[in-house]
Each structure stands twice: as C-alpha cells, then as structure tokens.
Amino acid sequence: MTRRRVTMSDVARRAGVSTTTASFVLAGRQDMRISAEAEERVRLAAGELGYRPNLTARGLRTSVTRTVALISDTIATTQFAGEVIHGALDAAGAADHVLFIAETEGDPGIEIQLVEGMLDRQVDGFVYATMYSRKVRIPEALRDSRVVLLNCYEDEARAPCVLPDEFNAGRDAAAVVLAAGHTAGIHVIGGRHMTAETPDGVWAGLERMRGVEEAMARAGVRLDGVAECDWQPEDGHREVRRLLAAGTVPRALICLNDRVALGAYQALQEAELRVPDDVCVVSFDDSDLATWLRPRLTSVALPHYGLGRTAVEVLLDGAADPAVHRIAMPVRLRASHAAVVPSGEAAHKAV
Amino acid sequence: MTRRRVTMSDVARRAGVSTTTASFVLAGRQDMRISAEAEERVRLAAGELGYRPNLTARGLRTSVTRTVALISDTIATTQFAGEVIHGALDAAGAADHVLFIAETEGDPGIEIQLVEGMLDRQVDGFVYATMYSRKVRIPEALRDSRVVLLNCYEDEARAPCVLPDEFNAGRDAAAVVLAAGHTAGIHVIGGRHMTAETPDGVWAGLERMRGVEEAMARAGVRLDGVAECDWQPEDGHREVRRLLAAGTVPRALICLNDRVALGAYQALQEAELRVPDDVCVVSFDDSDLATWLRPRLTSVALPHYGLGRTAVEVLLDGAADPAVHRIAMPVRLRASHAAVVPSGEAAHKAV
DNA sequence: CTGAAAGCGCTAACAA
DNA sequence: TTGTTAGCGCTTTCAG
C-alpha cells in the first residue's frame, strides 16, 4: 500500500541515461550540454513516473531546503496573526518555499530551543516577528543565518526590517479630520500609550502621534487634548466620559485604535451624542470591529498582509543591506467621519 | 564567520570512538551495550563541542523528520487561527516536533501542490483543518500519510478527527437560560444557518440547535421562535428588529454566535431594552467581542486551543483508529444572562 | 555530450 | 563491547 517513492535513478534507468544526465535536465541546468533527445527522454520518463525530487536528500547535499521559519513572540495568537501569516505564506509559496511557524512566548529559553530546532532542520532563513512594534535584539543563535525583522527593529540594524508606516498613518488620520473641516475641539484618545508599564509610550503610539502633530501643525490647527492611556475599550470609554463630565464636548476624536474607538462610541452613546453628526471619530488598525460598529468606523489600516508578504520577499530576495521597509497604511473611509452639523439639520450619512 | 557545524564524526573523533558508538549513545539506545566509560566520553565530547544532530541527514536515513504540517483551507486568516495554531504548536513542541503551516484557500489545485511540497520534505504527518466545521474528503495525495482531521469530518471516517462538542454547547447555552428562570419568550437568532448558500444549515448550527432543543424539551419549555439567517451582526440586528416590530418582546435570546449577539444588542438598544434586565442574552464562540460588549456577553466558548493541541497530540500519539474526539466547549458566564426583572425594580448586576 | 564516483551526515546490519 | 561499511537520494567534479 505505501508504495515506494520514485527516485531519480528510476527516472534515469527508464530514460536510459545516467543519474547525472537526469539530474542536469531535471534541475534545468544549461551549463552542461545535454542532447535534445536525451533531455526529451528524461522529461518523458519523469512525467510518466510522476517523479518528484526528495528535498531532504537535496537539502543534505546542497544545504538548501527551500524552507523559511517565522518565529514570533506570540504573533500567531493575536488578531495580528491571520493576515501576517497569510502574506508570509503567499510570498513563500510564490518562491516555492514552505513555512515553519513557531512562538517563543517571549521566553528566551524557548526561543533558543526553537531557533536551534530550525537550524537542525537547515531552514534557509528566519523572519523574526513581534506582536507589537518594538525594539529587539536578534538572538545570538541566529548570528549565522539570514534574518528579516517583522514589526520590530534593532538599534544595531544588523538585519533588514519591515514596519508599518505609522508616521504617515498619523498624518493621514489627522488629514481626514482636517478635510472634514474641523479646526477646533479635536481630541486624541490613547496618545503615545504612556502608562505605568510603558512610561515612554510604545513605538506605534509615538510614530502615530508624530504624524498627527505634524499634520496639525502644518494646517495651523491645535489639538485640544491628548489623553494618554492604555488602548483597551474601557480606556476609551473612561477618557471620553471624563471629557464629557468636565463639560467638554469634543468635535472630533482621534482614537489610537479601534478598541479605544469602541469605548469612545459607548461613552458618546451614553451621552446621547451622535457619530458623526455631533462628534467625528477616526481610528487606527482597521480591525474587524471597525466594520461591525455603527456607524462603521473610519480607520487607518495596519497592513498585516503586506508586512508578512514583504518580510518573506525581502528574506528570499537575498539583498543583504539592512534596509528598513515601511509598509503603507491605507485609510479606510467609512461613516464615522464628517464635519459637525449644526444641530437641527443633522444629515443622514449613507453607510 | 559561518563556522562549520560540528558533526557526529567530530564528536566520535574527540571521544576516541567510532561514529557507531557515538550514534548509539547520542540516540540513547540501550539495545547495544556500550561501556559506561565510552558513553561518558561521548557525552562529554558532544557537550564540549555543542553537538546538534543534523535532522536533514537523519531524515534522509530514517525518513522521519519530526515535522508536522498543518494544512487548512483558510484557517490562518481567521479569528479561529490564533489559538488553534498555538495549541498545535504547544503539542508539537512538547513532542519535539516542528510545525509547517499552509493554506489552500479552498483551491484543490493549490491543495495538491502544498501537500506534495510537504511530502517532498518528508513530513511525518498532516493535520487537515477547516475554518468552519464541515464535511470534507481527504485529498488523494494524502492517502499514504498519517492524517488527523481538525474541525472537519469525513463520511468514510478514514482518519481520526477532532471537533468541538457543539451538541453539549447547545445544551449548556439553553441550560443558562433555563437556570435563570425563563420559561417563555425564548427566541433563537441564527438557528441552523439555513440560508440561500447553505439551505441545509451548517454543522455547528445543526449540532448547537440539537443541543438547545434537547435541553428545552427535557425542561418542558418551548422555544417561541427560531430565526434562520446568516450569522453576521447585521443579521442579528435585522432579526431582532423584526421581532420587535411585530410587537414581540423576547425575554431571552439565544444567539448563534457573538457577532449575531452584537447585532441583537444594537437592536435592543435602539428599542431602549436593557440587557439583561429586560432581555437575557446568551451566545456562542466567546470571541473577543464577548468581553468588549457592555454588558459583557455570556458565551459558550469554541475550544480553539484544545482543538489545535489535541489534533497534533492524536497525530503524534500514533493511535491508528479513526476515533472522533469531541472537545468540550466551556460556558463563560458573564453579565448578559439573568432572570428578567419586573420593571421598576431592575437590579444592577455587577460586571 | 555523457557517465562514474564521491560525498552531504547520519543509522544500522554485520563482522570482529 | 566496538568498528567497518553500506547506503538513504541527490548534486557535482572530473574523466572520458
């Protein structure tokens, strides 16, 4: 039942040539001249027999396995995961490679084990990924391997890295608010994510805010406030409530992610304020939530697919320079942004 | 810089033994007797040199690679993905295996390519997974391989399969409503998912409803209605609105998933009905949404992690019988279920 | 133009 | 108890 796989010597025998000749034509090499006729016979035999090369054997001989490893802290477990893996898979598939996945769970001991396991299997390269954009150090065990950083970066910049273009995302989010005609009452919820655990903020927050502030400055408009907090729904809810309780009714809210926006929606709803007629809301990430909320949320999308895809492409393209590749974050215009309408004439925006 | 890896013959040489001896002690085999002293020398040498076996070479020789492939239609791209992969990774790691991931995107051509690619790399087994629980046929290319079905099943039952225990989930969801004291006004939103594209419903819907109805029958309580529809937020929204428009105010809603429940929440909110004081809501899946909604949603959890983990365990445990493994779906009791309170005395439930 | 032969690193008969 | 040797399936040098 478990029939033996056909090997190259089966093909050679049937074609009446040596394995050398078979190897050369099947590898499609031109440097050694093979008669058209022999080539034809080999191809035919391979086709008839359904020959497929044993990549383990080839790997042993050449030490290339057409295999790449995606090692992450905990990426596979998050929202982030799906499209990143999808993009990586597409790029790997296009180059006829196959993808190992592994999670370190942030544990250096596990990390080293996993990396060695991959090395034992002679993977051709590594994508080293993190869930949140942040600074990392490439593990020592990877010193002799090709590595591309995904969603993270290293100060020494020893490897190419692929990051979302958060700075321009910030500019674009601000541009949406400005284009809607707002010049006052603009508040940011979430800010740089300066919390007890991350007093200096997080990279995405710092970049997004840099972009927001650049765009505002350029337009000569001032932000009326930046609430620094965690980026969960309850934080958005609390901060908007606090604003409202203080008697401030914002005209536009730039929420640092969709979960924060969900919390903001809830607080606005409790106060019987309407989006977008009373308050304009724009957000970041473009998670599933953004299309589930009513009105649908205008959000600047994290380019998950592009990140995964580009990382593997860079890895496989073999360029050695440690360039940083910034992946554009597209704005998804939906129904939560608009100029504030004088009360009484609230227009009904199509969804 | 790229120093050569140390091989077994390096170890043997340094220990002053043959590679055979080295191989036997490093493989930890007891059947060939090796002197304690030689064994010690080999272990020492291996340790000093930092020897790690080349698994490609071993694979070529033994045709076992300690590698498993997770092939799915589009699992990596969904909510479903994260924890399934995580579970699979943990089980693989515990058995010192490594995990390939691939997506067929539902295309049989791609599927066959991927399977062959894995076969070319001598993977030891396959987890064949689907995003939705459904019937499949194991691809012909896998006929000679160990396969475990994940979240799907085959009529011929040629392989073990791992499925969520949806039937008991249905019973448990109904039990929550019944335990809250409801005996009337109980409506189901989503039903068996009998839509134009799936006129016979989907497996999860059929099983969940079978469980719900069993529990209701056992308690001698009748369902007041089952809305058959798709399972998106807009469907939940529409169906609950329709109910309300017809003058029916439900006392309890069993929503077939959290997205449907989100839509239901929105419709109830528009009608100024409060959860859970006016309407009790329970749901399935326990996605992130369930904790984001206010009040937090009581939901019967899909056991993603357990599915992934069990599938790989079954694959690696080597039991050959095509058993079906049902993974329990735990009820996450939160704040959306309660007995309906006579108006005026609505208690405030803690969240 | 083609073939013989060595060897990638490991395991496992078989012999000593 | 240990070593010699063949060979897994492939690539590639070198000699014809």
Q: Which of B79, B82, B120 sits opposite A53 (nearest CB)?
A: B120
Q: Spell out a b/e string for A312-323, using b for 16 or more CB atoms within 10 Å of the CB, else e.
A: bbbbbeeeeebe
Comparing every residue's Cα with the C1' atom of nucleotide C7, the nearest one is A61
pLDDT in tens, A171-223: 999 999 999 999 999 999 999 999 999 999 999 999 999 999 999 999 999 99
* A249 at interface of B, judged by CB pairs closer than 8 A: no
How far: A120 CA to C5 C1' (Å)? 29
The Cα of B70 is separated from the nearest Cα of chain A by a number of Å equal to: 10
Taking residues A300-315, what's their average pLDDT? 96
Contact check, Cβ <8 Å, A76/B85: yes
pLDDT in tens, A139-161: 999 999 999 999 999 999 999 99
How far: A78 CA to D1 C1' (Å)? 55
Q: Which positions in chain A touch B118 (Cβ < 8 Å)?
A: 98
Least confident window among A24-38, B63-77, B129-143: A24-38
Q: Which of B54, B103, B120 sits opposite A55 (nearest CB)?
A: B120
Q: Which of B1, B80, B111, B120 to mutate to test the interface with A (most CBs of A within 10 A)?
A: B120
* A238 at interface of B, judged by CB pairs closer than 8 A: no
* B320 at interface of A, judged by CB pairs closer than 8 A: no
Q: What whole-number distance in Å separates Cα of residue B51 and Cα of residue B6? A: 6
Amino acid letter at A207? E
Which residue in chain A is spatially nearest to B232 when comparing CA positions?
Answer: A292
Residue pair B179/B222 in contact by the 8 Å Cβ criterion:
no
Q: Cβ neighbours of residue A22 under 8 Å, at least 6 residues apart?
A: A8, A9, A11, A12, A15, A42, A45, A46
pLDDT surpassing 90 at residue B139: yes
* B52 at interface of A, judged by CB pairs closer than 8 A: yes
What is the band of A2 on the pLDDT scale with cuts at 50, 70, 90? low
Q: Which positions in chain B touch A121 (Cβ < 8 Å)?
A: 55-56, 65, 67, 98
pLDDT surpassing 60 at residue A165: yes
Which residue in chain A is spatially nearest to B92 when comparing CA positions?
Answer: A102
Tokens of A132: 């949140």
How far: A61 CA to C15 C1' (Å)? 30
pLDDT surpassing 70 at residue B181: yes
Q: What are phi and psi of A115, to 5 degrees?
A: -60, -45
Residue pair A125/A153 in contact by the 8 Å Cβ criterion:
no
Q: Which of B63, B97, B107, B294 to mutate to test the interface with A (most CBs of A within 10 A)?
A: B294
pLDDT surpassing 80 at residue B342: no
pLDDT surpassing 50 at residue A39: yes
Q: Which nucleotide is nearest to B12 (CA to C1')?
A: D3
pLDDT surpassing 70 at residue A343: no
Taking residues B218-224, what's their average pLDDT? 97
* A65 at interface of B, judged by CB pairs closer than 8 A: yes
Q: Which of A2, A3, A292 sits opposite B233 (nearest CB)?
A: A292
User: Is pLDDT larger for residue A27 or for residue B329?
Assistant: B329
B-contacting residues in A 76-105 (Cβ below 8 Å):
76-79, 81-83, 85-86, 89, 93, 96, 98-103
pLDDT, chain A, mean: 92
Share of chain B above pLDDT 90, in %: 78
Contact check, Cβ <8 Å, B1/A144: yes
pLDDT surpassing 50 at residue A347: no
* B294 at interface of A, judged by CB pairs closer than 8 A: yes
What is the band of B343 on the pLDDT scale with cuts at 50, 70, 90? low
pLDDT in tens, A109-131: 999 999 999 999 999 999 999 98
Which residue in chain B is spatially nearest to A270 when comparing CA positions?
Answer: B269
What is the band of B345 on the pLDDT scale with cuts at 50, 70, 90? very low
- What percent of the residues of chain B are helix, what percent strand, and what percent coil, each to the nearest 5? 40, 20, 40
What is the band of B3 on the pLDDT scale with cuts at 50, 70, 90? low
What is the band of B349 on the pLDDT scale with cuts at 50, 70, 90? very low
pLDDT in tens, B241-259: 999 999 999 999 999 999 9
pLDDT surpassing 90 at residue B96: yes
For chain B, first and last CA: distance in Å?
59
Q: Which positions in chain B touch A294 (Cβ < 8 Å)?
A: 266
Comparing every residue's Cα with the C1' atom of nucleotide D8, the nearest one is B61
List protein-proximal bases of chain D (any atom < 7 A from a CB): 1-5, 7-14
pLDDT in tens, A65-102: 999 999 999 866 666 678 899 999 999 999 999 999 99
Q: What whole-number distance in Å separates Cα of residue B60 and Cα of residue B65? A: 8
Q: What whole-number distance in Å separates Cα of residue B217 and Cα of residue B171? A: 10
pLDDT in tens, B299-338: 999 999 999 999 999 999 987 788 999 999 999 999 999 9
Query: What is the pLDDT at residue A345?
Result: 47
Taking residues B57-67, what's their average pLDDT? 94
pTM for the full predicted model: 0.89
How far: A20 CA to C6 C1' (Å)? 13
Alpha carbons within 13 angstroms on the beta-carbon side of residue B5 total 17
Query: What is the pLDDT at residue A321?
Result: 87
Contact check, Cβ <8 Å, A82/B81: yes
